[in-house]
Homo-oligomer: A and B are copies of this chain.
C-alpha cells in the first residue's frame, strides 16, 4: 500500500534466529542511502509483482489490432482468480479442521467461523466487482471477443474446485453443450477435479459435525423425540381451538390453512420422505444432521451453540452470495453478448441462467428449515443438568498455547 507501515518497522525484538542469520548473509555492498536494501525482503519481491503485473498479454495486440478494453477484461478475470485462490485457501483450512477432528476442541470453532465469514466477505467483494467490468460495453467487447476463442470461463479450474469442495454435486450440474463439465479439463487439472470430488466436501463435513450435536442422543436429552411429542400436543390444541369456532367461510379457510401447516410439520418427522427427497437431490443433509441443525436453531442462545449458529448463518451467506455472483454474471453476459434467442444452438446466456438455481444451493436445507419453525413454547425445555459445556482448556496443552516462557529458552 501507499506508505503502508505495516511491515516496514524492523521488529528486531521478535526476529527469529533464522531471519537474523539471513540478514547476516546479506549483500552489504549496496548499503548507503537506501535502507530498504539492508537485508530482508522488499515489497515488490514479497508480492512477486514481477509475475503479477506482467501477466497481461492482450491477444488483440498479438493479432495486430490492440483493443484498449481487453486489458480490463484480463485484469478483472485475474482478480477473480486471485480471490478464488484465497477462498480455496480458507475453505481448505476449514475442511482440514473438520477432517482432522480438531473441531472437537471447541476452541477451534473461532477459526472455523472466522474463516467461513471471511469467505463471505470475499464473495461480497466479488459480487460488487462486476460493476467495474460493466464499464465495458457490448461494443467494446465485440472488438476483441473474436481473439479469445475458444477460451471460456468454463475452463476456470479454481471455480470448479470451489464448487466441488463446498459440495455442488456432479449430478446436480446443468450440462453444457451435452458435455460433462470435467471434459473441459485435462491432465493434472482433470485429476485435481476428480480428487476434489472424492474428498470430503464442506457439506459432508458439516453434516457429520451436525450429527454429533449434543442433545440428539435418543437415550439422553432426546431432542427429536421430545420435539415430535410437543408438536403433536401443540397441533392437537390448535385444532381443538379452531373447532370451537362457529361455522363460517373464514373458519373453513383457517382450517384448510391449519391442515396445510400440520402436514408440513408432520412431514418433518417422516424419515422415509426425507430419504426420498435426498435421493432426488432436494435435500442434502442426513436426517440426523437436519435434527442437529434445527436444535442449534432453537437453542442458539445457549453459550455452546452461539458460535455454531453463526457458522450455519455464514454457510447460508456463502450459498446466497454464490448464487448472487452467478446471477450478476448472467446479467453481465446478457449485456455483453445478448441472448441470441431464437437462433437455435445452445445459448451461453440461457445456460448460465439455468445455473442460478436451487440445484446449486449446497446448504439448501438450512434455508428450508425456516419452514419448520414453531412457537418458542413448543420447543422442548433444555434439561440443565445433562449437557455441561466441557471446559476445553484442560486439553489446551498444544505447542502454541502452553509453552511457557521458560520452555522457550535455549
Contact = CB atoms under 8 A, between A and B. Distances in A.
Given A44-B155, A46-B151, A389 B237 contact: no
A106 B128 CA distance: 32
Contacts of A137: 313
A287 interface: no
A367 B335 contact: yes
A209 interface: no
A405 B234 contact: yes
A285 interface: no
19 contacts: A2-B326, A4-B154, A4-B352, A7-B152, A12-B258, A15-B146, A16-B64, A16-B65, A19-B147, A23-B250, A38-B150, A53-B85, A72-B118, A125-B131, A134-B317, A139-B297, A307-B307, A377-B404, A384-B395
B343 A263 contact: yes
Contacts of A317: 134
Contacts of A163: 2
Contact of A44 (B45, B82, B157, B342): B157
Given A9-B348, A403-B377, A40 B149 contact: yes
B121 A132 contact: yes
A370 to B, nearest CB: 4
Contacts of A406: 233
A302 B390 CA distance: 11
Nearest to A406: B233
Given A153-B1, A391-B388, A51 B49 contact: no
A192 interface: no
Q: Copy number of this protein in the oligomer? A: 4
Nearest to A111: B301
Given A10-B254, A335-B367, 18 more contacts: A5-B347, A5-B348, A10-B150, A12-B242, A13-B258, A18-B63, A36-B155, A40-B149, A46-B148, A49-B157, A53-B158, A263-B343, A334-B370, A338-B369, A339-B371, A376-B400, A377-B407, A387-B391
Nearest to A41: B151
Contacts of A349: 5
Given A33-B183, A34-B183, A376-B400, A151 B40 contact: yes
A172 interface: no
Nearest to A87: B75
Q: Which of A5, A122, A282: most chain B Cβ within 10 A? A: A5
A71 interface: yes
A284 B219 CA distance: 52
Interface string A88-132: 011001000000000000111111001101100110110011011
Interface string A39-76: 11111111111011111110100011100100110110
B13 A257 contact: yes
Interface in A371-410: 371-373, 375-385, 387-389, 391-396, 400-409
A226 B372 CA distance: 51
Contacts of A329: 1-2, 4
A370 B122 contact: no
